[in-house]
């Protein structure tokens, strides 16, 4: 992602007190969720009007994803999501939480959607509990993802069921067709620095 600075001709030198924040997501774990929250918070003090979240990830822990989603929901600034390379599993879900009209995807990038897992280990009763939790999370995240792109709540549940619960890979054109991606390009971020001289 490229920053472009437009500096008024009246300005010879400038120094930004706070650089614009771009949030990058590669992993989904407790550490990355904490860093995500800190970066989103920092973006609110820079003067920028949009928070770009760049996703290039194979996925990770669904509970860390839920923490990131909560951070986006609490943000007072709109969040733009941008897929560079890949957004798989948790990455695909996070992508859908970009503001409508602000979900960008490189034309050669790939999205992969599949059932989430809460982690399967332990004794028989623990495995049953984990299976129930995985089912609960599946319904929850698929419902949110469907609503984010303007589809019926069971859109993704039906799609995954039709595919036999196998991994579902989507190219950029397919993501655009279902309204997961709004634009098939990487946006440029413009910072305009100007001088306004008024007579009062």
| Catalytic positions, written as ranges | 89, 114
Please give the Cα distance from 189 to 151 (Å, whole number). Answer: 30
DSSP 128: H
Give the contacts of 143 (CB within 8 A, at least 6 positions apart): 153, 154, 157
Q: Running DSSP on this structure, what letter comes out for residue 83?
A: E
- For the CA atoms of 24, 29, 31, 36, the dihedral, rounded to the nearest 10 degrees, stands at 40
Residue 43 exposed, middle or buried by CB count within 10 Å (0-12, 13-18, 19+): buried
User: Tokens 């614009």 label which residue?
Assistant: 20
Give the C-alpha separation, 186 to 54, whole Å.
Answer: 10
Query: 19 in the Ramachandran plot: left (φ > 0), alpha (ψ -120 to 50) or beta?
Result: beta
Helix H or strand E encompassing 184 = none
């Amino acid at each position: 992602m490229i920053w472009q600075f437009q500096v008024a001709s009246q300005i010879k030198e400038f120094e930004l007190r706070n650089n614009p924040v771009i949030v990058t997501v590669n992993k989904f774990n407790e550490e990355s969720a904490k860093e995500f929250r800190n970066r989103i918070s920092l973006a609110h003090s820079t003067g920028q009007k949009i928070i770009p979240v760049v996703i290039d990830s194979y996925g990770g822990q669904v509970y860390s994803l839920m923490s990131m989603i909560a951070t986006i929901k609490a943000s007072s600034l709109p969040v733009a999501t941008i897929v560079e390379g890949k957004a798989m599993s948790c990455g695909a879900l996070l992508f859908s939480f970009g503001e409508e009209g602000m979900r960008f995807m490189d034309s050669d990038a790939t999205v992969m959607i599949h059932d989430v897992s809460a982690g399967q280990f332990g004794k028989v009763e623990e495995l049953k509990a984990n299976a129930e939790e995985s089912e609960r999370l599946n319904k929850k995240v698929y419902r949110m993802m469907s609503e984010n792109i303007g589809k019926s709540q069971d859109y993704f549940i039906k799609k995954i069921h039709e595919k036999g619960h196998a991994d579902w890979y989507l190219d950029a054109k397919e993501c655009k067709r279902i309204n997961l991606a709004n634009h098939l390009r990487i946006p440029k971020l413009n910072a305009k620095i100007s001088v306004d001289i008024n007579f009062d």
